[in-house]
Homo-oligomer: A and B are copies of this chain.
């Protein structure tokens, strides 16, 4: 029977990219003891339009109440769940410089969602040292026997010249998600997701706008979604 089979619909990529923002805000609102939030207020806090908020939230399974707004606790729970907050993804990092240390010392990687389980480098002065409680090893020496669970996320903070080799090594280890800080397009198998965090590109986008007289569009949050946050008070 045509149409009877309901496939779990993927969310549009821009919506996925906004979920972490909603999550962060909902968590904060719960912390402040606010039970509900309107699409209008949430939109202002997230820097997107109320219509976009309603479209996004209705697509992750409506839980708003007409007349009052969205339940902050429910919103927080649902977004956290969608973003994999209930799972733990073993994470490895290659290229242990200042940037890697900044990441390792940040609150991003606890034992919660992404847990760092291995550090790699090639520099003889760095291999063998301990950073954040883990001994730095050589990626080439990795045989996978030391992992309790196989790594799921790989982070590249290595020089651009090494990026493709490291990415190949990570993919061979079975990693399915890469975040790279190297200014380099990576070629990976189709089933691997790659996120590029490219500061040089960001900087050049800024200089483009400076060079061409301003951009009224404060885009950029969530990847150029055309967001233009305005100064907002939670309770005007």
Contact = CB atoms under 8 A, between A and B. Distances in A.
Contacts of A3: 228, 230
Contacts of A201: 17, 20-21, 222
A140 to B, nearest CB: 21
Interface string A79-90: 000111101010
Instruction: Assign chain A's interface to a size class.
Output: 35 or more
A199 to B, nearest CB: 6
Interface in A175-195: 176-179, 183, 185-188, 190-195
A78 B156 CA distance: 30
A87 B45 CA distance: 35
Interface stretch (A66-74, A93-101, A121-129, A141-149): A93-101
Given A4-B226, A217-B6, A19 B232 contact: no
Interface in A3-43: 3-7, 9-10, 13-14, 16-17, 19-21, 23-24
Contacts of A226: 1, 4, 6, 13
23 contacts: A2-B230, A4-B228, A6-B216, A6-B226, A13-B219, A13-B224, A16-B205, A17-B205, A17-B224, A20-B204, A23-B204, A47-B185, A83-B204, A98-B101, A98-B105, A113-B203, A177-B206, A179-B203, A185-B229, A186-B218, A193-B206, A198-B221, A223-B224
